[in-house]
Amino acid sequence: MRLVVIGATGRTGGEIVAEASDRGHDVVGVATEAATIESVDVHPSDDLAEVLEGADAAIDFTVPDASREHAALAAEAGVPYVVGTTGFDEQGMSTLREASESVPVLKASNFARGVQALLQVVEAGVEALPGYDVELTETHHNGKRDAPSGTANTILDVVDEAREESLDRTHGREGEHLRDESEVGVHVRRAGNVRGEHEVMLAGNDEVVTLTHRAESRRVFAAGAVDAAEWLAGREAGWYDFADAL
């Protein structure tokens, strides 16, 4: 498969290039500037339209503003588009949705299979424990831009669905504040080179349940993203998520 990796020089993009090359795909990279990663040619993003010609799929792990442009170019070129970039605002999301009218678009805030399992377990736990307090803590490396993480927001959406209400997302606490039952606490840590950790605490009735996922290598995101691209190539235009591919 001819695969374009956008953000190939990045922390995650580099792992995607390695994973896709190991699987025998014909990989071409794109980043802000030309480079070589794992003996794969990386082209500057100005050349993206040209690089997309004849590609079977593109995988994008960059920044939201750039990904909007990449999605539009993938749509123009008719190339299935997998996006792992997080932190999109509403405008960004609508650009991605627009692209999905012309090509298949698969977006996931987390390409680790374990996180998909965590989402199912969180849903079951919240449903089984009505009235329990829910608190979420996520930790990532000190180079992460957006907070809370895209995965944290996905987990919070699952909690809302399971509770059938929108809980108040309370980001950290300071000063006098008595916890309200409509709150879900959200706590963010940024330190060192932590790949990504999410912990959901359910507490009530003299007991505490904690559900944790910890990514131990970025390769797990890379493997999931390449799985997604392999699955997406050749599908009909539309909007897909990682659970569809799994």
Ligand X SMILES: NC(=O)c1ccc[n+]([C@@H]2O[C@H](COP(=O)([O-])OP(=O)(O)OC[C@H]3O[C@@H](n4cnc5c(N)ncnc54)[C@H](OP(=O)(O)O)[C@@H]3O)[C@@H](O)[C@H]2O)c1
Residues serving a catalytic function are 140, 144
* Sites for ligand X among residues 173-212 (CB under 6 A): none
Q: 137: number of CA atoms within 13 Å, CB side?
A: 11
Q: Based on the shown chain and the rule CB under 6 A, indicate whether residue 86 belongs to the binding site for ligand X.
A: yes
Q: Which long-range contacts (CB under 8 A, 24 or more apart) does 114-117 make?
A: 114/213, 114/215, 114/220, 115/151, 115/198, 115/213, 116/242, 116/243, 116/246
Q: Based on the shown chain and the rule CB under 6 A, indicate whether residue 33 belongs to the binding site for ligand X.
A: yes
Alpha carbons 98 and 72: distance in angstroms, whole number: 8
Q: Which stretch binds ligand X (CB under 6 A): 8-16, 73-81, 121-129, 170-178?
A: 8-16
Alpha carbons 70 and 60: distance in angstroms, whole number: 8
What contacts 212, CB < 8 A, 6 or more positions away? 197, 198, 199, 200
Shortest Cβ 147–ligand X spacing (Å): 10
Cβ–Cβ contacts within 10 Å for residue 105, how many? 24
Q: Based on the shown chain and the rule CB under 6 A, indicate whether residue 229 belongs to the binding site for ligand X.
A: no
* Sites for ligand X among residues 107-146 (CB under 6 A): 108-111
Shortest Cβ 60–ligand X spacing (Å): 8
* Sites for ligand X among residues 45-64 (CB under 6 A): 45, 61-63
Shortest Cβ 10–ligand X spacing (Å): 2
CA dihedral of 186, 127, 209, 155, whole degrees rounded to 10:
-30
Q: Based on the shown chain and the rule CB under 6 A, indicate whether residue 9 belongs to the binding site for ligand X.
A: yes
Q: Based on the shown chain and the rule CB under 6 A, indicate whether residue 153 belongs to the binding site for ligand X.
A: no
Closer to ligand X by CB, 25 or 195: give it. Answer: 195
What residues line the site for ligand X (CB under 6 A)? 6-13, 31-33, 45, 61-63, 66, 84-87, 108-111, 221
